[in-house]
Amino acid sequence: MILRGGTLVLETKTVHGDIRIANGKIAEISPALLPETGEDVIDCTGLLVMPGLIDMHVHLREPGFERKEDIASGAAAAVKGGFTQICCMPNTKPVVDNKVVVTYIKARAREVGLCKIHPIGAITEGQEGKTLSAIGAMKQAGAVALSEDGKSVASAGLMANAMMYAADFGLKCLCHCEDASLVDGGVVHEGYYATLTGLKGSIRAAEDLVIAREICLAESLDLPVHICHVSTYSGVQLIREAKARGVKVTAETCPHYFTLTDEAIKDFDPMTKVNPPLREERDRLAIVEGLKDGTIDCIVSDHAPHHADDKNVEYNYAAFGISGLETSFALSNALVKAGALDYCGLVRRMSANPAKILFLEGGKIEEGAAADLTVADPDEVWTVDPAAFVSKGKNTPFAGREVCGKIKYTIVDGEIKYREDGR
C-alpha cells in the first residue's frame, strides 16, 4: 500500500511525503509516489503519519484476571489507541516470574495477532520481595525488562542484586517507587483535598525516597534504572539532578499526571483513584516541564483496567487504576496544542524513547524498517465515552471530556490492524 500526502513525523523534523509499504517493511519514502498495480492508496492529507506508538507500561491482566482484561481485549484497545507495541506488567496470577508464563503471553499475543506484546518479568518470585526470579530464563523466553510493578522491592540489597543480574542479561529494572510504611493505607495525595474529603493521604516522600534510593544504586553500581509513573515535582528534580551528574536513569509519566490534579477527588469519584495518586498543581506543572526539558523520557498509559464491580464502591475500597490505552494519545496531544512539545518531541516520548530504553525495534520511520505506523488526525475533537472503549476496563476519570487528536489507522508489520471506519 501507499500512505499518500501525510505529514511524516521523524525524530527531529516533520516532512510531507508518501510511504510505500511492501512485504511488511517501509519500502520507499518520497515526496510523491505513483501506485503500482494492485497497490492500495490511503489518503493521509491533513493527517500525521508517526512511527508506531509504543506503550512500555500496560496491565493486560491475563493470566488470572481475565474478568478485568485479557490479551485479546487489551491488544484491541492498544491498536485503537494507536499502539503497535505494548509491554505488559507481571502482576498477574500466576505472576510472570518464570519462562512458562512469559512463553504463554507471547503465544497468546501471536494468536490474537494485533499489536506486538512484550512481557515484563517480575523482579522477585511471586513478587514477594524475597528471592530473585529466574531472570535469564525469562529473558530467553522473551521478557524485555523486569519490574515489581504495584510495589517496590523493600530490600535495597536485593534491589542492587536485581539490577546487577538484570544487567548481565541485557535487561533493565522498571521501578514502581513507593515506601509502603509511609503510604500506610493512604488512598490519595496528602494535601488540601485529602483534608477536605477526609480521605487518608500519602505524602510525596513515599515516592521520592524510593526514587532517590534507586538513583543512588544506579550511581554506585554504574548501572541503568528506569523510574515508573513519576508524579511529584520533587521526584522530577531528583531525576533531573541525577541526569546532570551522568547517572543512567530514565523515567516515565502518564497523561493523568499532567492533565489532572488532586482537585479531581473532591467528588469522591473512584475513577480518580490511582497509584501513585493525583498530586497538586505544582506537581502537574513540574511533570510538564520535565517532559519539555527531557528529564522525563517517556509517556505511558499505565493502563490498569478493572471490572465495574472493582470501582463502583466507596473510595477507600475501590481498586487503583485508570483504563488508559484508548485516551493516551489524545490527552498527550494536548501538550503539543499547549506548546510544551512539538510532534517530534511527542513521538520521541511515545515511541522512539521507549524503543531505545527497552532495546526494541521500532520508534522511527526509515526505509527498510518494519512498517509499524500510526496515522492520526491531530485536530479532530471528540468526547471520551467509556461505553465505546473496546477494553473491558471502562474505568476512566475522563468520561465526557472533550479531547483533540484521533487515531485513524494503526499498521503493524504492514498490515492494517485498526482503522477508524471499521472496514
Residue pair 39/367 in contact (Cβ under 8 Å)? The answer is: no
Residues in the chain: 423
217 in a domain, yes or no? yes
pLDDT string in tens for the chain (423-residue length): 999 999 999 988 999 999 999 999 999 999 999 988 889 999 999 999 999 999 999 999 999 999 999 999 999 999 999 999 999 999 999 999 999 999 999 999 999 999 999 999 999 999 999 999 999 999 999 999 999 989 999 999 999 999 999 999 999 999 999 999 999 999 999 999 999 999 999 999 999 999 999 999 999 999 999 999 999 999 999 999 999 999 999 999 999 999 999 999 999 999 999 999 999 999 999 999 999 999 999 999 999 999 999 999 999 999 999 999 999 999 999 999 999 999 999 999 999 999 999 999 999 999 999 999 999 999 999 999 999 999 999 999 999 999 999 999 999 999 999 999 876
Query: Is pTM, for the whole model, over 0.75?
Result: yes
Catalytic residue among 70, 208, 297, 302: 302
The whole domain housing 334 covers 52-365+377-403
Q: Indicate whether 315 belongs to any domain.
A: yes
pLDDT reported for residue 421: 86
pLDDT score recorded for residue 36: 87
| CATH code for the domain of 101 | 3.20.20.140
2 assigned to some structural domain: no
Instruction: Note the pLDDT of residue 353.
Output: 98
What pLDDT, on the 0 to 100 scale, is given for residue 423?
64
Residue 47 domain-assigned? no
Evaluate whether residue 131 is within a structural domain: yes
Give yes or no: 302 in active site: yes
Q: Give domain status of residue 22, yes or no.
A: no
CA distance 403 to 423: 24
The answer to whether residue 420 sits within a structural domain is no
Please give the pLDDT value at position 29.
96
Number of structural domains the chain divides into: 1
Q: Which residues pair with 22 in a beta bridge?
A: 25
